[in-house]
Amino acid sequence: MATPNNIIIRKNDFDAAIFDLDGVVTKTMSTHALAWKKAFDEFLSQHQGNDSAVRPFDIETDYMIYVDGKPRLEGIKSFLQSRKISLPAGDPKEAPGFRSIHALGNLKNGYFLEKVKKDGVEVYQSTLEFIRKLKAQGIKTGIISSSKNCALILDSAGLAEMFEVRVDGVDLIKLNIPGKPAPDMFLEAARQLGAEPSRTVIIEDAVSGVEAAKAGGFGLVIGISRLGNRKDLLQYGAHVVVNDAAEISVAHDDSAARKPAELASAIESFAAIKKSAATKSIVVFLDYDGTLTPIVDTPDKAILSPQTRDVLIELSKKCVVGIISGRDMKNVKTLVGIDSLIYAGSHGFEITGPREFKESSSKGIAFLPALDQAQKVLEEAISQIKGVLVERKKFAIAVHYRLADPADVPEIEHAVDKVNSLHQDLRKAYGKKVFELQPNIDWHKGKALLYLLEALGLDKENVLSLYIGDDVTDEDAFRALENKGIGIVVWDTPFPTAAKYSLKNTDEVRTFLSLLIQICGGPHE
């Protein structure tokens, strides 16, 4: 267990960690506070009352006591009650203004969106590194927020794929559950993660949040005191309090994540890799985006270079080569265009390969009827929202909202959630400005990799398996090879990972694959 001076998260002790968004992961608390102040001050200037009732909104007192961590409407009610002011509830679609609680909430939300569009979203890098450490150890991560703008904030910060589960202001309405200080949001996130509360860590900065986590019976509640509220956090339920996530350690239990400084270059260490393969056959699996092609603004621009294609063709003549991608199988196969490779699309839900490779079935076949039904309902539900694209992959439905108005994102997510609630055999996943419905089974790149090795008859001691990837989803594959192969991460900025070696970019990937050609072809001296 942890002590205030030695907070250690171990995989043997915990299965999941759930983060609050504002003030823990992103630096949006001040943005929210300024938007609240502007809206409330405008309202108070129009309100008739005594000096005490209409004095300006104070961020240090009013925001922290009445608003911070609460759902938008609850925050408004709480603050107005403190000034002995009452307003009718109004309608959720009411125009921004002062006539009702909903109107005032919409006014605040408009000010918040304006500032996010103008200034973007900052991330606490220490928290991001902590999250990567957790994921490198196989600890699941979720995020909660009372805000309906959670999707927008995560997209703006490039964090959408860092969390398996998200429970936000949209879910509060969909599930009809109370916000903090009630524990329901945390409990729902833990349920979706498949983790018992007693084996789940909560990381919070708000008093209402630690109070909610305590009420939920969570195994470890960590308070982050960014505003000098250590005593309050401890009083309301935090087991320990830190000033920053950098003070929290992640123990390296069964599958040790290497520190960035400890990770050698796969090219510079090629002699050691060659020695490991001296009496073994080599099999190579790779991610596509960010590994074989650079990350680009739109998926259709991720084109494989002729030089890399030539290297892959030559390598596939010497050993088994496979692509395991989050893309649809047909899409990635078309982009690569090499018939001699194995292809696993949608993180391995669909697998195919050359004619001699008989395994062409999919783990997602049984989910096709549910996906067909969900697609039809979903397309009808969001057909009137501009800028939304519904992309039907064979084993997933992707809802792209990159071109949609940010103010419409909560409505888009609500539609996805509503359809998802009708199909419990599907799960919602997140990407960069995309929501996705996938088969609800425990399946990822690591399990796809192990499945392929077995299907190919390569799960043997005389086979050295290599996996090269750049994304957080590739950590599952790195961990799968801990005791039977080599994981190689592609990065420009080091981060905690379960991989054994690193490469800097796609050019180095091509160079490394060229080196492999020289030693592939079965056991060698």
**Mind telling me the catalytic residues?**
287
Quote the CA–CA distance of 357 and 89 in Å, as a whole number.
63
Q: At what angle do helices 101-119 and 29-46 cross, to 10 degrees?
A: 140
Q: At what angle do helices 207-215 and 184-193 cross, to 10 degrees?
A: 60
Pairing of strands 281-286, 434-439: unpaired
Q: At what angle do helices 368-381 and 409-421 cross, to 10 degrees?
A: 140
Joined together, the tokens standing for residue 385 give 């929202």
3-state class of 160 per DSSP?
helix
Residue with tokens 């309100």, as numbered in its chain: 47
In the chain, the largest separation of any two C-alpha atoms, in whole Å, equals 90
Joined together, the tokens standing for residue 454 give 């077995």
**Does residue 339 come out as left (phi exceeding 0), alpha (psi in the -120 to 50 range) or beta?**
alpha
Quote the CA–CA distance of 438 and 348 in Å, as a whole number.
12
Neighbouring-strand partners of residue 7:
248
**HSE-CB for 455 with a 13 A CA cutoff:** 20
Containing 412, the helix (H) or strand (E) segment is: helix 409-421
User: 3-state SS string over 338-407?
Assistant: CCCCEEEEHHHCEEECCCCCCCCCECCHHHHHHHHHHHHHHHHHCCCCCCCEEEEECCEEEEECCCCCHH
